[in-house]
Amino acid sequence: MPSNVVKDIVIPKCSGKTMKVEKGQVFRVIAHEGKQVADLTFLNAHNFKEHFAAEHSAVLNSMQGTGGYYRITKLYSKPPYENVMATVISDSVGNGARGGERAGHFMMCHCSNRLLNHLGMPGTRTCSDNFADAFKEIGLNQEDTYDETIFNVWMQSWIGEDGGMCSAQPLAEIGDTIDFLAEMDIIAVISVCPDETSPCNDFKAKSLRFQVLEGEE
């Protein structure tokens, strides 16, 4: 398990950022202030067309018995690439020990301007705004990517019996972590979700801490 911290940053609440993670390094998300979700996508650092596919990864992990929509082990890129971009090697909440399988994460979309309009909060900052800022750091416009396929870290959401989406507050507590081993050079694109209208962040946006670790053996 890599233990040398080579990058350690706190990303302020309601903001977006990118972090480069080299093959063999570990990308760690830390619930720095408690119940706060991280919306993540990943790009191949050498080919920005190759990006993480959340729902596709949920299905592929289901077939291998390594997860599903609430937890995955292998993060695949979209077709035609379908490479393993990263592997979850440690997950203190999504391992099923706390609240069962559904208590970990959610492979779905992020909050957007239209979503907040429907919630009666037009003009509120959203993950969509955070992602637009983050993509600018690497010279991409949001319209040139497909960021609505994300690993919703600590998002406790599920599909209800009527087919609608349900949410509850995250089960993550201060100090909980999830570790992703980079299987290629990747860019982690991060949104620290600004939502304060729902239980997703326990009605209060917070910061999150991120680290890159290395030093196996």
- Conformation bin of residue 93: beta by default, left when phi > 0, alpha when psi is -120 to 50: alpha
Q: How many residues bind Zn ion (CB under 5 A)?
A: 5
Look-up of token digits 């959340």 = 54
* 153 is an interface residue for Zn ion by CB under 5 A: no
Residue from 45, 46, 84 nearest 188 by CA:
45
Where does residue 195 fall: left (phi above 0), alpha (psi -120 to 50 degrees), or beta otherwise? Answer: beta
Instruction: State yes or no: residue 111 binds Zn ion (CB under 5 A).
Output: yes
55/214 with CB nearer Zn ion: 55
Beta strands of the chain (E only): which ranges? 4-11, 16-21, 26-30, 38-44, 47-51, 74-76, 84-91, 106-108, 150-153, 156-159, 165-168, 177-182, 186-192, 208-214
Closer by beta carbon to Zn ion, 26 or else 54? 54
Minimal distance in Å, beta carbon 115 to Zn ion? Answer: 8
Residue 151: other Cβ atoms inside 10 A: 26
Element (H, E) at 137: helix 127-137
Taking the complex as a whole, how short is the minimal distance between the CB of residue 12 and Zn ion, in angstroms? Answer: 15
Nearer to Zn ion, 50 or 147 (CB): 147
In the complex with Zn ion, the residue whose CB is nearer, 111 or 171, is 111
Q: Which stretch binds Zn ion (CB under 5 A): 49-57, 62-70, 90-98, 124-132?
A: 124-132
Q: Which of 19, 127, 140, 205 binds Zn ion (CB under 5 A)?
A: 127
The answer to the question of residue 31 lying near Zn ion (CB under 5 A) is no
Site string for Zn ion, 166-205 (x = CB under 5 A): ---------------------------x-x----------
Q: Catalog residues that contact Zn ion under the rule CB under 5 A.
A: 110-111, 127, 193, 195
